Amino acid sequence: MSRLVVISNRVSMPTQAGAATAGGLSMALAAALREYKGVWFGWSGRTTPEFTGELSTEMTEGVTVATVDLEEQDIQEYYNGFANETLWPLFHYRIDLSAFERAYGQGYERVNTRFAETARPLIDDEDLVWVHDYHLIPMGRELRRMGVANPIGFFLHIPWPSHQLFTALPRHRQLVESMFQYDLVGFQTEDYLEAFLEYVRKEADGEVLEDGRVRAFGRTIHAQAFPIGIDADAFKQIADSMTAAQSWDRMVASTYGRSVIVGVDRLDYAKGLEERLLAYEQFLTDNPERLGSVEYLQIAPPSRENVDAYQDIRARLDAHSGRINGAFSTINWAPIRYVIRSYGRDELAGVYRAARVGLVTPLRDGMNLVAKEYVAAQSPRDPGVLILSRFAGAAAQMTQALIVNPYSREDVSDAIRRALSMDLSERKRRWEILMEGVQRNDVAAWRDDFVAALRNTRVQTKAVA
Ligand code: ADQ
């Protein structure tokens, strides 16, 4: 079996249950790498006065974790700048928040080159190389420039935007051209793949061949959708653990007699937290008989705090939650519990299980793993109801959730009412179908499908040649 060399912006090998800070990408990659015993390379999260390219390596659970420090200017321009102030908002349809600054683009290119130079010695001839996410789109081109001839795949964890939107990015053509240096490019959903292909046809004069490969810029690559999943069995086990049971007990005791609605999201404007609070306010207004018997728990660990838009959203959420609690609370009840911190996965699992409703309403989301975790944590005897935004990639698979338009307060408010009054047999029927999908399309299936397709690109190429 070939080794897997994974390259992503951040590297973190969380333990199965712990590691509170992890985002979706690192959870998924850690689960993927445990199996392949390969190498995981990325930024250490630390700064250095001058870039040296010196690697720090350690072995964790059979995986070689290799990291490099970056200069402050790199972090400003590449990470806070181009990745999180240009690409992230644009790819999540927030062109109003996108900053287009030349220095950001230059920093992005510089760090991709630095990453490729540093990672190069880690790659052996037989390795498969797998690059992740919007921080590192040009990485494949840089590795090729340094003579890496191995199969290289790229997976985008966030949405690929519509063609009209994407062309608002200065130098959009160069970015897409660099993607044609990969053997395989993967997206979360068929819709994102379709949007990418539309760009290729309209802007790059490219074509999709009969065998599904894509031809443009004088090169032919494979492009496919690989919906990511969670480690469903591990999560189910965690949900049955002692810590999860204790967390469940605490939740039940502190919300006695009330139905809990839970939201768990990084504090990010794309997650639709502001719209969700307003929709919940609408629900409280529309359903006065529910006052006192329902509680919305929002857990939102801070994220990307050096970016202005993230400070703004945090301030707005503070204001809304305070205002709504002020307007509706009584001396023994508050409608919202808003918690800005991280929890261990086992604690989260207990919280998910204690909640009658999982409220997952991003305005845009590549996939959304919280929706899948919520389902995996439920008790089969008394499962809760998932409310899911149609704009989460997960909605394409999780059709037994109550699918909502997160921009419509009425729509979300109606779905909350429906979820809270759904009888046990319907909850079970929906949950069983959802759970079957979460287990079938788990992170191992995602990893194995991608790796098999990447390996296969060379087999097919040889056959064609
Ligand atoms: P994220 O935007 O980070 O991921 P998501 O897929 O929902 O979003 O994953 C979040 C992860 O962080 C989940 O595993 C969740 O349990 C964890 N988490 C959230 N809040 C937490 C808290 N308070 N304490 C502890 N853990 C917490 C990106 C894309 C997504 C895509 C993933 C994977 O934006 O669309 O699904 O990558 O591809």
CA of 414 to the centre of ligand 1 (A): 26
Query: In angstroms, rounded to a whole number, what is the distance separating the alpha carbons of residues 239 and 354?
Result: 11
CA of 409 to the centre of ligand 1 (A): 24
CA of 28 to the centre of ligand 1 (A): 9
- Give the nearest ligand 1 atom to 264 CA: 20
Does residue 21 carry a pLDDT above 50?
A: no
Residue whose Cα lies nearest atom 2 of ligand 1: it is 24
Q: Which of 62-66, 107-111, 236-240 has the highest mean pLDDT?
A: 107-111
Query: In angstroms, rounded to a whole number, what is the distance separating the alpha carbons of residues 209 and 146?
Result: 29
Mean pLDDT across 112-130: 96
- Give the nearest ligand 1 atom to 341 CA: 23
Residue, of 59 and 221, whose pLDDT is higher: 221
Residue whose Cα lies nearest atom 24 of ligand 1: it is 342
Name the residue of 226, 230, 367, 372 to mutate for ligand 1: max ligand atoms within 8 A of Cβ: 367
Residue, of 28 and 283, whose pLDDT is higher: 283
217 residue type, one letter: F
Strand order in the sheet with 385-389: 336-339, 294-299, 259-264, 357-360, 385-389, 402-404
CA of 227 to the centre of ligand 1 (A): 15
How does residue 19 score in pLDDT terms, banded at 50, 70 and 90? Answer: very low
Topology (CATH level 3) of domain 4-229+443-457: Rossmann fold (3.40.50)
State residue 234's pLDDT score: 87
The one catalytic residue among 133, 231, 365, 414: 365
Does residue 343 carry a pLDDT above 70?
A: yes
Residues flanking ligand 1, CB < 6 Å: 20, 22-25, 27-28, 157-158, 228, 264, 266, 299, 301, 342-343, 348, 365-370, 373
Residue whose Cα lies nearest atom 20 of ligand 1: it is 265
Superfamily for 232-440? Glycogen Phosphorylase B; (3.40.50.2000)
Residue 12 burial (C-beta neighbours within 10 Å; 0-12, 13-18, 19+): buried
Q: Does residue 157 carry a catalytic annotation? A: yes
Does residue 243 carry a pLDDT above 70?
A: yes
CA of 310 to the centre of ligand 1 (A): 16
State residue 115's pLDDT score: 98
Question: Which residue is listed with tokens 């949007």?
Answer: 195
Does residue 206 carry a pLDDT above 80?
A: yes
CB 86 within 8 A of CB 98: yes
CA of 45 to the centre of ligand 1 (A): 18
Name the residue of 16, 262, 369 to mutate for ligand 1: max ligand atoms within 8 A of Cβ: 369
> What is the tens place of the pLDDT at every residue in 288-312?
999 999 999 999 999 898 889 999 9
- Give the nearest ligand 1 atom to 366 CA: 35
Instruction: Provide the terminal-to-terminal Cα distance of the chain, rounded to the nearest Å.
Output: 24
Average pLDDT, rounded, for the chain:
94
CA of 368 to the centre of ligand 1 (A): 7
Does residue 419 carry a pLDDT above 90?
A: yes
| CA–CA–CA angle 43, 45, 46 (5° rounding) | 105
Does residue 371 carry a pLDDT above 90?
A: yes
Does residue 439 carry a pLDDT above 90?
A: yes
- Give the nearest ligand 1 atom to 228 CA: 38
pTM of the predicted structure, to 2 decimals: 0.96
Does residue 24 carry a pLDDT above 80?
A: no
Where are the domain boundaries for CATH 3.40.50.2000 in the chain? 4-229+443-457, 232-440
User: What is the DSSP track for 395-432?
Assistant: GGT-TTSEEE-TT-HHHHHHHHHHHHT--HHHHHHHHH
- Give the nearest ligand 1 atom to 371 CA: 7
Percent pLDDT > 90 in the chain is 86
How does residue 34 score in pLDDT terms, banded at 50, 70 and 90? Answer: confident
Mean pLDDT across 166-175: 97
Name the residue of 132, 135, 370 to mutate for ligand 1: max ligand atoms within 8 A of Cβ: 370
* Region for residue 160 given its phi and psi (left: phi exceeds 0; alpha: psi -120 to 50; beta: otherwise): beta
The one catalytic residue among 92, 132, 135, 157: 157
The phi, psi pair for 48, rounded to 5°, reads -140, 145
Q: Does residue 132 carry a catalytic annotation? A: no
Query: In angstroms, rounded to a whole number, what is the distance separating the alpha carbons of residues 7 and 59?
Result: 16
